[in-house]
Amino acid sequence: MQPKLKFIDRYLTLWIFLAMALGVGLGYIYPDITEITNTLSVGATNIPLAIGLILMMYPPLAKVDYSLLPTLFKDVKVISISLLLNWIIGPILMFVLAVTFLRNEPDYMIGLILIGLARCIAMVIVWNDLAKGNREYAAILVALNSIFQIFTYSFSFWLFINIIPGKLGLGNFDISVSVKDVTKSVIIYLGIPFLSGFLSRYLLVKSKGIEWYKRKFIPAISPFTLYSLLFTIILMFSLKGEKIVELPMEVIKITIPLVVYFIMMFFVSFVINWSMKVPYDKNASIAFTATGNNFELAIAVAISVFGINSDQAFVGVIGPLVEVPVLILLVRASLWMKKKYYV
């Protein structure tokens, strides 16, 4: 039986639009919301928002079965292709698109680069199942991406934001961000939920069993990712009430390079895998893992480093709004290519 996208996931784009509208409405009704938000902050950190961002990252990391990783290292070809696509081709492609489409909007450009550096660890399982990919390999690749991000995100950020733009003559943007701030964000918003997710899985599976963990615990915590995302969006857009007339055009401006990225990344991944004679089920897993992005991490880092009302954080919010409809279409494309090229 062909799996179907859950109701809440199928209409994720709608929920995001509604959260945007609610946030803008709150900003008009309660113009003092900025002051209220600031009173709940310690230094540059807004406590309710920080809790929400950590909760947003926790469920996908609690779902990962890290014990599967040794299996992946037995298949050198698959892991090599996945690493190439996720950590070299993906970030470079997003960087090129960011510079091409948004070089006159450096804050948006940085926001897009942040997304390109954050590799998928959540929704890829959904897209993989819909496209009849190999669930075990998708889970293993998600585990690999999770661990890689903890150790490489800060370095990648430094390389693509502070170094490469200057080397390419884009230094007039004066792009320079503290790696210390980024590392701190990664430790808080990825390290804490990663450790919590890892310990949750280890301890609860040991005491309650894997079936209870998968059937009871995971379904109970899964909605918190969406709830936390929508809470973040509502709060962000409540601070953008005065820009309501500009918002539609700004969304379109960011949407175009994202759509191009998703489409190019998927077909480049699929063709590379097909040319190397990777079976379809593994091909789909690698392609969707490489195509999706960890918007939760991108949003968390953007808010922590640049602020909740920043353009960089705004770009991160637009990401999942665009990803869902485009990836649904790419699932259909994947199934069509399976019939055409994998007879």
pLDDT tens digits, residue range 196-234? 999 999 999 999 999 999 999 999 998 898 899 898 888
For residue 172, name the pLDDT band (cuts at 50, 70, 90).
low
pLDDT grade for 244, boundaries at 50, 70 and 90: low
| pLDDT > 70 in the chain, percent | 92
Determine the average pLDDT of the residues in 158-185.
78
Domain 18-341 in CATH 1.20.1530.20? The answer is: yes
Q: Which two tokens stand for residue 293?
A: 């992005």
Map tokens 């994720």 to a residue: 12
Confidence of residue 261 (pLDDT cuts 50, 70, 90): very high
From 289, 294, 341, 337, select the one nearest 316 (Cα to Cα).
294
Please give the pLDDT value at position 5: 64
Boundaries of every domain in the chain: 18-341
pTM of the model: 0.86
**Residue 131: which pLDDT band, with cuts at 50, 70 and 90?**
very high
Contact criterion met (CB below 8 Å) for 244 and 24: yes
pLDDT digits (tens, 9 = 90+) for 25-36: 888 787 777 677
CA angle 77, 64, 90 (to 5 degrees): 50
- pLDDT of 249: 85
Amino acid present at 59: P
Q: What is the pLDDT of residues 286-339, one digit of tens each?
A: 999 999 998 888 988 998 888 888 899 889 888 888 888 899 899 999 999 999
Place of tokens 């640049």: 306
